[in-house]
């Protein structure tokens, strides 16, 4: 289904004024016919009954809005551009997603009760055929609720993604899928799960996130731009057939699931302590080596291997200890 742009003139005001004028003339003729001629009265009555029918074809469009028009089930084209239009009064405007609302995470209850990607509120009430079902062409944001996904290592991760999107082909959006908003929400949910399960939450050894067969440093926490870009591409590949364009995707929330968050925090703290200890030991060894070299080069004191070992032990205790040391003064001879 290819989109066809209707080149209908913006003559809605002319039709409106013409119908009003025709009705007024018919009313005057009806009153005149009652007193003078019965045939004029009948003709005026018929005109009064049908003169309002063109009013059913009046449509008003604002900037960045479109209207998909069908006539007896046949797609006639799409109106685009702001203006006051007059179309065939028997035409029907179609928008299956008019009453579908893409809920924003946290806009009602903080996302605590929302388990799916979006909250969809739809109404089954039928509208009259002449109701204007305008399709918005503006950039819209789908801010999904936090969902729990297992990363490549099997760790449960909570992630939220905001997707900026808009309708670019109204015919495909209306006729290719049943409801393009619901279709988009499901594809976003699937894309997030497909991409997140490729990455570890943090950098992990022997993990290939690019598919080239080589381990790399990709992670959800450290490569958010790359992950968001792959999510956008994944969604775009699925919704292109629905006439939608994904402009951008951003990760709005990322954390370990509550059931393992405390354990992972302890793991990170332990890793930080180990790294700090390694740095302290490297610095202490260097300082001990410098002290021994300085004493030897300047011939301040001549130490044998046993005294050097004792000195090294004492210096390492002083430099690597968590608390201040209490010095012991030797008042006797060194030997």
pLDDT in tens, the chain (335 residues): 788 888 878 888 898 999 999 999 988 888 888 888 888 888 888 988 898 898 888 888 989 999 999 999 899 999 998 989 898 899 888 898 888 877 543 333 433 333 343 444 344 444 444 446 899 999 998 887 788 888 888 888 889 899 999 999 999 999 999 999 989 989 998 999 999 989 888 887 888 888 787 888 888 888 889 999 999 999 999 999 999 999 999 998 888 888 876 666 766 677 777 777 788 788 878 888 887 777 777 767 777 777 778 777 777 777 676 666 666 666 555 55
Q: Is residue 329 part of a domain?
A: no
> How many whole angstroms from its chain centre is CA 55?
41
Q: Which residues contact 217 (CB under 8 A, 6 or more apart)?
A: 203, 223
CA distance 175 to 329: 92
Q: Tell whether 88 and 114 lie within a shared domain.
A: no
Q: Tell whether 75 and 112 lie within a shared domain.
A: no
Q: Which residues contact 79 (CB under 8 A, 6 or more apart)?
A: 6, 8, 59, 61, 66, 67, 69, 85, 87
Q: Is residue 241 part of a domain?
A: yes
67-73, Cβ contacts within 8 angstroms, sequence gap of 24 or more: 67/93, 67/132, 67/133, 67/134, 67/135, 68/93, 68/94, 68/95, 68/133, 68/135, 68/170, 68/171, 68/174, 69/6, 69/93, 69/94, 70/94
Q: What CATH number is attached to the domain comprising 118?
A: 3.30.479.30
Look at residues 255, 288, 307 and tell me which one is the last residue of a structural domain: 255
Q: Tell whether 104 and 233 lie within a shared domain.
A: yes
Look at residues 255, 284, 306 and tell me which one is the last residue of a structural domain: 255
Q: Tell whether 156 and 285 lie within a shared domain.
A: no
> Other CB atoms closer than 10 Å to residue 13's CB: what's the count?
13
Q: Tell whether 115 and 73 lie within a shared domain.
A: no
Dihedral angle computed from the Cα positions of residues 138, 104, 234 and 99, in that order, rounded to the nearest 10 degrees: -60
Range of the domain at 274: 262-320
pLDDT at 333: 56
Q: Tell whether 117 and 71 lie within a shared domain.
A: no
pLDDT at 326: 64
Number of helical (H) and strand (E) elements in the chain, helices listed first = 7, 12
Q: Is residue 330 part of a domain?
A: no
Task: Judge if pTM exceeds 0.85.
Answer: no
Q: Tell whether 21 and 58 lie within a shared domain.
A: yes
Q: State how many domains the chain has.
A: 3
pLDDT at 202: 83
pLDDT at 119: 40
Q: Residue 20: helix, strand or coil by DSSP?
A: helix
The half-sphere exposure of 140 on its side-chain side, counting CA atoms within 13 A, is 20
Q: Tell whether 79 and 22 lie within a shared domain.
A: yes
Q: Tell whether 145 and 226 lie within a shared domain.
A: yes
Q: Is residue 335 part of a domain?
A: no
DSSP state, residue 213: S
Q: Tell whether 14 and 74 lie within a shared domain.
A: yes
Look at residues 233, 255, 277 and tell me which one is the last residue of a structural domain: 255
pLDDT at 104: 43
CA distance 279 to 73: 75
Q: Is residue 326 part of a domain?
A: no
Q: Tell whether 121 and 240 lie within a shared domain.
A: yes
pLDDT at 243: 92
Q: Tell whether 285 and 209 lie within a shared domain.
A: no
Token output for 278: 């390694």
pLDDT at 281: 80
Q: Is residue 153 part of a domain?
A: yes
Q: Is residue 331 part of a domain?
A: no
Element (H, E) at 21: helix 12-35
Q: Is residue 328 part of a domain?
A: no
């Amino acid at each position: 289904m290819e989109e066809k742009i209707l080149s209908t003139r913006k003559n809605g005001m002319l039709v409106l004024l013409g119908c009003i004028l025709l009705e007024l003339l018919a009313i005057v003729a009806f009153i005149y016919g009652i007193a003078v001629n019965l045939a004029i009265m009948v003709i005026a009555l018929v005109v009064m009954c049908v003169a309002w029918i063109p009013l059913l074809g009046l449509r008003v469009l604002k900037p960045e809005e479109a209207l998909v028009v069908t006539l007896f089930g046949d797609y006639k084209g799409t109106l685009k551009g702001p203006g006051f239009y007059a179309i065939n009064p028997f035409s029907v405007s179609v928008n299956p997603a008019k009453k579908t609302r893409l809920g924003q995470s946290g806009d009602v209850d903080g996302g605590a009760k929302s388990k799916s990607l979006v909250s969809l509120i739809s109404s089954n009430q039928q509208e009259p055929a002449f109701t204007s079902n305008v399709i918005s062409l503006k950039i819209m944001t789908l801010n999904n609720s936090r969902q729990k996904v297992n990363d490549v290592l099997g760790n449960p991760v909570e992630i939220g993604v905001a997707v900026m999107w808009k309708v670019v082909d109204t015919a495909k959006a209306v006729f290719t899928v049943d409801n393009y908003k619901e279709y988009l929400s499901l594809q976003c949910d699937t894309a997030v799960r497909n991409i997140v399960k490729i990455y570890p939450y943090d950098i992990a050894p022997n993990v290939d996130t690019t598919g080239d067969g080589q381990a790399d440093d990709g992670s959800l926490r450290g490569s958010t731009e790359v992950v968001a870009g792959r999510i956008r591409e994944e969604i775009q590949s699925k919704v292109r057939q629905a006439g939608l364009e994904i402009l951008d995707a951003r990760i709005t929330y990322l954390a370990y699931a509550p059931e393992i968050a405390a354990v992972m925090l302890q793991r990170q703290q332990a890793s930080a302590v180990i790294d700090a200890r390694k740095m302290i030991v490297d610095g202490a060894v260097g300082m001990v080596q410098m002290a021994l070299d300085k004493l030897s080069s300047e011939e301040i004191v001549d130490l044998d291997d046993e005294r050097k070992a004792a000195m090294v032990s004492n210096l390492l205790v002083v430099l690597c200890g968590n608390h201040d040391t209490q010095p012991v003064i030797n008042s006797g001879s060194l030997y």
